[in-house]
Structure 1
Amino acid sequence: MKRYILSILAIIALVMSTSFLSVTAKETKKDDKNNQESKVNLADNSKSAILLERDTGKILFKKNANEQLPPASMTKIMTMLLVMEALEDGKISLDEKVRVSEYAASMGGSQIFLEPGEEMTVNDLLKGVAVASGNDASVALAERIAGSEEAFVQMMNQKVKELGLENTNFVNPTGLPAKNHYSTAYDMAVMAKELLKHKQITNYTSIYEDYLRKGTEDEFWLVNTNKLVKFYDGVDGLKTGYTNEAKYCLTATAEKEGMRTIAVVMGAETTKQRNSDVTKMLDYAYSQFATKQLFEKAQPVTKLNLMKADKDDVDIVTGDSVSVVFSKGDKLDGIETKVSVNQNIELPLKAFDVVGKLEVIKNGEILSETKLVIKEDVNTASLFQLFKRSMDQMVR
């Protein structure tokens, strides 16, 4: 196979000049581990907190962000992530009806009052998780996807490892109190960042009120446990949490002025304090920072040309949107972006397989890395295609 590496250096002239810092999720994690907490005074009412910009993962504020604490129903961020992945992979569909087991219907705490043997669509069960924090709906979906709650929990913890998170362990998909069930503000923010790659999730988490079984005698009124969805402009998710041990927790996300942020607080004493801390964090983000988008998600950046491939000039696209973050009032200089394609690509390739990376660079420092993926399936060329291609080259 022909070996090559394709590098494109593009100087992007941005109107403002000097100083900003943008980091990858990996670099963010490293930064968060140092002992110095953010100097700005936020999240006074919470045991731990973090505020970050979604595209870059840049931490804007942190407080005890790696302290292991019970996440309560914020656990359902991982549950929803696995549901969204199952939908994307075609393992389940939104209109599929799920039969509720006796075990799922027995869940206490927050629930949508499912009955054993009842059938409800994946769409409505997901709505029950996202809006009403239904423990019964969470277990019903878990059992449908993995076969059992235990198998689903294994999937949850496997995903934790895939995301490189070191301070999270799940025992159930609900967040109900359990020994050895813990996470951190930082880890929850990374899970939220991953969940938000599935943009349709906010179609559910942004609902303030709705109904299940509408028009029947068992009609159930859903009211979002995240009141900021209604009372803070731009908030469209994600998940609240409360137990006696965890106290009041919230992972919130908002999008304003082209910038999406994620704010997590854990261990507040009241809902008012929880919401106040998140509100102040979001106010701080949008008053002090801004973003500049360099590439949209799935934007073509180069072409894949392999002699043995069955297709010519297949688009290589960004696996996620690419942005830079800067403080308002500061000025942005020129930014370099470097596109690198793997030297040893083996066929066949499936759509969205990773084939390289895009680096954002300033003054020789790599500020962020984004995966580059292939836009469509690429298979090995047939003997006829190889022969024709060789003849075409000879003619030239």
Structure 2
Amino acid sequence: MTLKKSRLAFPHLSLFAAGCVLALAPALGFAQGATPIPGATPAAPAIVTAVGELATVPAPSLTAKAWLTLDATSGQIIASQNPDERVEPASLTKLMSAYLVFDALENKRLTLDQNVTVSEKAWKTEGSRMFIKPGSQVTVDELLKGVIVQSGNDATVALAEAVAGSEDAFAALMNQEAAKQGLRDTHFVNSTGLPDPTHLTTVRDLAILSRNLVVKFPQYLHYYSQKEYTYNKIKQNNRNRLLWTDPTVDGLKTGHTQSAGYCLVATALRDGRRVVSVIVGAASDSARVENSLKLLNWSFQNFDTIKLFDNEKPAVNARVWEGQAETVGLGSQAPTWITVPRGKGPQVKPVAQYTQPLIAPLKQGAKVGTVSLSLDGKLLRQEPLYVLNDVAEAGFFGRVYDKIRLLFE
């Protein structure tokens, strides 16, 4: 079956039979004549299947309460176990604390050389410590090393107070940012990860947060790969032992309490591709390291991440009516990457659903539909389709001619 109206052309990918396009549109909730919302942020792609389910090599057997591995470029979950079980994050909490400090730095609310006066509350905070003294002046740069390299709870509270005035106010900002990022099962009570019955998250939320951190703030990732830091004549090693085990690992954070077990969010960059792994509830430090390395290796060795299209490489060349151009490219506003089992990139099947008919004038950036990306009959994700170029309205006779032609289409 064919569909002349759509005039679909996927120049870079194979396509399902075009006849299913309009038939699928109502079922997918796509309404003809959709118009863009000015200033709106594109919706996150709907990830339907964890791509690991399509791999011939199964995920490794891990000894942890919950775990997840995610490709940072595509944002796709590769595989997981108990991804939505609420768990204690322990010092993995400091990922959000650091995120808010980085955001304050980028928005000029803090500077790295700014001095912070250490409060009595920060000095008294229990748990792992940077060993800062009450009343002393410590720079934001030094405190970040204390938080990230040494996992110092005292340094974390000092930075929380510098950003928000108090740790309670900072915790409110943490929850506000969690909601903004769509961390649906996360609630923070403090900046450090000290145990509290309502201080909870999931490995899915931790993976999303970690991916957002490395994508938005790559300029600060060097803190996470620093192996040691000396402050007040006390040298402490980074607790992430993968920094010594695997040279491609450059972060991110460990966590441990008696009730949470041993936790580790790790990330590695190999041949330009970044993967994030999350392990919580391991029985020992060595177990979290071993599990994380297994998960990273499996994710890199058995999956590819490929770019399908972007704002210069359209997903669809679509027919335009009553316009000065007969076709227009439809695609994504940012590069669209997809993670698939190794070697299966050419088998990805895209199907587009978009407004029929497309009538000029069309404005660049107008959302007109979606493209679904499937592999082995399973939907991996959906992406919005945007008009990539302006198309001006044709003259009077051109519009009339196309109106007549449409009557016979």
Percent of residue pairs bearing the same amino acid type: 35
Which one of the candidate residues 302, 305, 322 is aligned to 1:288? 302
- For structure 1, list consecutive stretches of 5 or more residues without a partner in the other structure: 1-8, 19-23, 33-37, 213-217, 303-317, 341-353, 373-396
CA change 1:334–1:264 in 2 (3 A) is closer
Distance in 1 (alpha carbons) for counterparts of 2:268 and 2:105: 24
Distance in 1 (alpha carbons) for counterparts of 2:119 and 2:333: 38
The answer on 1:264 being equivalent to 2:278 is yes
Aligned ranges for residues 373-388 of structure 1 at < 5 Å? Answer: none
**Aligned residue type for 1:202:** L
Tell me the equivalent position of 2:81. Answer: 63
Tell me the equivalent position of 2:117. Answer: 99
Tell me the equivalent position of 1:207. Answer: 226
CA offset at residue 291 of structure 1? 1.4
8 Å CA contact 1:320–1:370 kept in 2: the answer is no
Tell me the equivalent position of 2:288. Answer: 274
Distance in 2 (alpha carbons) for counterparts of 1:52 and 1:156: 22
Distance in 1 (alpha carbons) for counterparts of 2:214 and 2:148: 13
CA offset at residue 295 of structure 1? 7.4
TM-score of the superposition, structure 2-length normalised?
0.69
**Aligned residue type for 2:338:** V
Q: Secondary structure at the match of 2:97?
A: helix
Which one of the candidate residues 198, 203, 209 is aligned to 1:180? 198
CA change 1:281–1:87 in 2 (3 A) is same
CA offset at residue 276 of structure 1? 0.9
8 Å CA contact 1:251–1:264 kept in 2: the answer is yes
Which one of the candidate residues 330, 346, 368 is aligned to 2:344? 330
Distance in 2 (alpha carbons) for counterparts of 1:111 and 1:355: 52
8 Å CA contact 1:111–1:137 kept in 2: the answer is yes
The answer on 1:112 being equivalent to 2:130 is yes
Aligned ranges for residues 18-167 of structure 1 at < 5 Å? Answer: 27-28=46-47, 40-167=58-185
TM-score of the superposition, structure 1-length normalised?
0.71
Larger Cα Rg: Structure 1 or Structure 2? 2
CA change 1:136–1:291 in 2 (3 A) is same
The 10-residue stretch of structure 1 (363-372 or 281-290) with the greater mean CA deviation from structure 2: 363-372
The 10-residue stretch of structure 1 (319-328 or 202-211) with the greater mean CA deviation from structure 2: 319-328
Q: Secondary structure at the match of 2:63?
A: coil
- For structure 2, list consecutive stretches of 5 or more residues without a partner in the other structure: 1-7, 17-42, 51-55, 315-331, 355-364, 387-409
The answer on 1:247 being equivalent to 2:250 is no
Distance in 2 (alpha carbons) for counterparts of 1:370 and 1:123: 40
8 Å CA contact 1:55–1:322 kept in 2: the answer is no
Tell me the equivalent position of 1:383. Answer: none
8 Å CA contact 1:12–1:335 kept in 2: the answer is no
Q: Secondary structure at the match of 1:332?
A: helix
Distance in 2 (alpha carbons) for counterparts of 1:285 and 1:180: 32
Q: Secondary structure at the match of 1:195?
A: helix
How many equivalent residue pairs?
320
CA change 1:31–1:327 in 2 (3 A) is closer
Q: Secondary structure at the match of 2:149?
A: helix
8 Å CA contact 2:57–2:302 kept in 1: the answer is no
**Aligned residue type for 1:292:** I
CA offset at residue 135 of structure 1? 0.6
Q: CA RMSD in A?
A: 3.6
Distance in 2 (alpha carbons) for counterparts of 1:269 and 1:11: 50
8 Å CA contact 1:10–1:336 kept in 2: the answer is no
8 Å CA contact 2:15–2:349 kept in 1: the answer is no
**Aligned residue type for 2:225:** S
Distance in 1 (alpha carbons) for counterparts of 2:147 and 2:351: 40
CA offset at residue 165 of structure 1? 1.8
**Aligned residue type for 2:210:** A
Which one of the candidate residues 229, 238, 241 is aligned to 1:227? 241
